[in-house]
Structure 1
Amino acid sequence: MDKNQLLSKLWEQYAAITPSAKKIHTLLADKGETIQNDHIAIRTFNDPRINIAVLEKPFLAVGYEARGEYIFESKKLFAQHYEHTTDSSAPRIFISELELEKCSDELQQTVKNILDDCDQNEFSNPELVLSGSIWKSNSHAIYTSLLEESEYAAWMYVYGFRANHFTINLNALQHFEKLEELNSFLEENGWKLNASGGKIKGTPEQLLEQSSTLADLYSVNFEEGLFEIPSCYYEFALRYAMADGNLYQGFVASSADKIFESTDVKLQK
């Protein structure tokens, strides 16, 4: 599988449970915009069977290399971002993992049980990052128990291995110079934005501004019945030039921390 196939499959899988993404894509295309992806984000646990070192493999194989590292203390997350070595237009890849050892014994045991119960051969699948939820367990009660401690863990339990969000590169748009302008356009067309920490996260001084929609609600068929669970969201990023004139390529942990909350059930109310 080459780079374009991998990225296309991630988009198709993401768009299947995030109908707002296609609608926003169409809304901007109808305005004459050509959309470029800034980055694609993926979640996992730091269990050695499925951690970042495992999920990065298909990206390394198609020409990506690791760059920045990020720590999110309050959410107990570690992340790395990747850039393509020869194609500067390729989206960055952002992979985060929940640091299980910092979580409660109950959460650690729940995740261990879920993983132990899987067909262990699944973890060596070269397309694991596209596999979605591979757990045999499908319990709303487990989802709810995870949600009490970590929204991130609960989301991962429901949706598994897939793109958590795609990101529109505002620098490549023709009709929007500022993130405020794009946010207003989206809100005027009925989209709700993540206001945690402000609708715009980051500043020009930090060289990166970000905003995002709230995650779509997707009907998930649990053992106990059908429930609507936040799925994925669409993000928007505006990058600023560094002292050398090149655009900043990394991420701002304090901003990303709030972007993570776009899938939070609490923000849907």
Structure 2
Amino acid sequence: MHKLLQDLWDDYLTLTPDAKRIHDLFAKNGETIVNDHIALRTFNKGALSLEAIKDYLAQFNYEAVDEYHFEEKKLRAYHFEIKSDLDAPKIFVSELLLEQMPKEVIDICEDLIAEADKVIAKDGISLPMLPWRTISSNEYETLLKHSEYAAWLATFGLRANHFTVSVNHLTHLSTLEDVNQFVKSHDFSLNQSGGEVKGSEEVSLKQSSTMANFVNWKFSDQPLKIRSCFYEFAERFNIPGTNQQYRGFVAASADKIFESTNVAA
């Protein structure tokens, strides 16, 4: 498990220099950062479907706990936990419901899935991975017209879309609002979709995130400036009427967190 998480983190930092800078700023402020969760994206067909990822994560003792649905973005997701190690970061994996996409999206994505299936049949799943060819800028733009999620996934493959700072484990910044102010004071932009803070104490979870880094990505024909990955911050509260901290996710909030990679934002 530790190697899996380290490999995902190292790969994530290559696309998200803001995360390294923010991580270092927290450390300089005397904080020890604990990761609340990691998120990945995939397709709902082929050898890398959500169910296949579920089987892959089982070898690290991760179990699917809750299922989530995002009708507008045409996604389904699970969050995974190691029930014997509640300090281990959760993993949130979503999949694009490809059959609900237009034909031009399906055609591009099924071609990539076929390539991935061959790679997985030979070598198995090994995260992070880009198990298909580098797409063209035209394919990217075609996907982007219909689904930012599909465009991101086809471009970057299976890698950490974001890591998440657990606000509950910080010692000097006691609330998510404090964290947001600290991050903004160092000139980082936060995702404003649905408000700077997504969720509330009433639903036992507050979340915020930076906007994803811009990178000059080399598509097969030309480079384009697009958004890569982002850093999230989560503050968890006890479930009302209990002494038990909420460990799940709020679909309405997660829906807005997805938009941290929105190129147009």
Q: Normalising by the residue count of structure 1, what TM-score does the alignment of the two structures yield?
A: 0.95
Q: Are 1:144 and 2:141 an aligned pair?
A: yes
**Distance in 2 between residues matched to 1:247 and 1:154, nearest whole Å:** 35
Q: Are 1:248 and 2:231 an aligned pair?
A: no
Change beyond 3 A, Cα 1:115–1:238: same
CA deviations over 1:237-259 (Å, ceiling 9, x no partner): 00001122011000000000000
Show the counterpart of 1:164: 161
2:215 is matched by which residue type in structure 1?
Y
Show the counterpart of 1:31: 29
User: CA shift at 1:177, angstroms?
Assistant: 1.6
Show the counterpart of 1:239: 236
Show the counterpart of 2:180: 183
Q: Which moved more, 1:216-225 or 1:255-264?
A: 216-225
**Distance in 1 between residues matched to 2:121 and 2:127, nearest whole Å:** 10
Contact 1:69–1:81 (Cα < 8 Å) also in 2: yes
Change beyond 3 A, Cα 1:52–1:119: closer
Show the counterpart of 1:110: 108
Q: Which moved more, 1:54-63 or 1:246-255?
A: 54-63
Percent of aligned positions that are identical: 43
Change beyond 3 A, Cα 1:95–1:123: farther
Q: Any gaps of 5 or more consecutive residues in structure 2? A: none
Contact 1:58–1:126 (Cα < 8 Å) also in 2: no
The 4+ residue runs of structure 1 with deviation greater than 4 A are none
CA deviations over 1:77-129 (Å, ceiling 9, x no partner): 00000111211110001000000111112211111122224561335644433
User: CA shift at 1:188, angstroms?
Assistant: 0.7
Corresponding residue SS for 2:48: coil
1:75 is matched by which residue type in structure 2?
K
Q: Are 1:221 and 2:208 an aligned pair?
A: no
Contact 2:168–2:174 (Cα < 8 Å) also in 1: yes
Corresponding residue SS for 2:46: coil
Change beyond 3 A, Cα 1:124–1:40: farther
Show the counterpart of 2:83: 85
1:79 is matched by which residue type in structure 2?
A
Change beyond 3 A, Cα 1:123–1:237: farther
Show the counterpart of 2:208: 211
**Distance in 2 between residues matched to 1:221 and 1:44, nearest whole Å:** 21
Change beyond 3 A, Cα 1:119–1:39: closer
Q: Normalising by the residue count of structure 2, what TM-score does the alignment of the two structures yield?
A: 0.96
Change beyond 3 A, Cα 1:124–1:78: farther
**Distance in 1 between residues matched to 2:123 and 2:93, nearest whole Å:** 18
